[in-house]
A and B are shown apart, each in its own frame.
Chain A
Amino acid sequence: MAHEHATHAPAEHHPGPGLYVRIGITLVVLTALEVAVFYFDFPQIVMTLILLALSTAKFVLVVGYFMHLKFDDSRFMWLFVFPLVVMAAIGIALLALFYHFTG
């Protein structure tokens, strides 16, 4: 059973220190890219999209590998992802409504 498998041997399925260090280096590189993008003279919409993409990549790497959500039971993932989706939807709706009614 998939759930049983994930539950009874999670430690064995976690990546080793080598991969963790590579993920850490990737996170530093992505952060350096974010800061570099900030100092470039991009149009605001372009810069916003690039920064959102870079932040999302960092977020997914930490949650997936450091928090082991990629390797753990999928029920843990839904417990976390569902409120994340709800929050993102509320945030987008709030910002859209706010700017629509205030110009």
Chain B
Amino acid sequence: MQYVAGIDPHRTSTGLSNRKMVMWAFLGSDVLFFGTLIGTHMVYRGAGAGPREELLDIPITSISTFVLLMSSLAMVLALAAIQRGNLGSFRLWTAATATLGMVFIGFQMYEFTVFAHEGLTPRSNIFGTTFLVMTGFHGAHVTVGILWLWSLFFASFKGKVRQATSLDVEVAGLYWHFVDIVWIVIFGVVYLIGAYGAEAVEGATHAAARLGLG
């Protein structure tokens, strides 16, 4: 069987790579997962007493957003490098992607620490519960991506990552870009719109009180 760069060698009834198909199906299911978390947060974001949107640090989060966007750029450059058979460039951009991801996680740990010092925990109010669960799950996804990228980086030294197997990198890249687009939505909707419109969600407080969620 002829092995073409970036192509899954296994013939499928659809004519498409089964690994890419599985990854896109997983990402589709993850859209529903994160959509649920973001939707729940948006509905209840103004509910309950205690620290809420005023703790969101927009300048710091803007920097971490920039870091994650640059990691996505590095990821796609790593894929372009391996598709052209440039192993050295692939290693450079993959290491850059994983490192930027680790920096992003560092920002998130800093944010969570500040929140905890200010009294915002998953137990403090429903804002804390929905916000920390949502961003925590995103952070967990980023962490899995970091481990995946480092495994590709080290596998490249054993000859397991090369131009003929660039589909492995492409599938990892799809996952990494997905965590980036989830953050694009969280940053725009939860941080910017949420922090700006905090005073406009008083209705949520009344509703949560009615439901005993305050």
List chain A positions with a Cβ less than 8 A from chain B.
3-4, 7-11, 14, 16-17, 20-21, 23-24, 27-28, 31, 34-35, 37-38, 44, 47-48, 51-52, 54-55, 58-59, 62-63, 65-68, 72-73, 75-76, 79-80, 82-84, 86-88, 90-91, 94-95, 98-99, 101-103
Please report the number of residue pairs spanning A and B whose Cβ atoms sit closer than 8 angstroms.
161
- Number of B residues, CB within 8 Å of A: 62
Evaluate contact between B75 and A66: CB separation under 8 angstroms: yes
Q: How distant is A102 from chain B, measured CB to nearest CB, in Å? A: 4
Would A4 and B15 count as touching, CB distance under 8 A? yes
Which residue numbers of B lie inside 8 Å of A, CB to CB? 4-7, 14-17, 20-21, 24-25, 27-29, 31-32, 35-36, 38-39, 42-43, 58-59, 62, 65-66, 69-70, 72-73, 75-77, 79-80, 83, 166, 170, 173-174, 177-178, 180-181, 184-185, 187-189, 192-193, 195-197, 200, 203-204, 206-207, 210
Q: Which residues of A contact B5 (CB under 8 A)?
A: 11
Question: Would you mind naming 19 contact pairs between A and B with Cβ atoms under 8 Å apart?
Answer: A4-B15, A7-B16, A8-B4, A11-B7, A20-B80, A21-B73, A27-B72, A51-B188, A51-B189, A54-B188, A58-B188, A66-B76, A67-B173, A76-B20, A83-B28, A84-B31, A87-B36, A102-B206, A103-B203
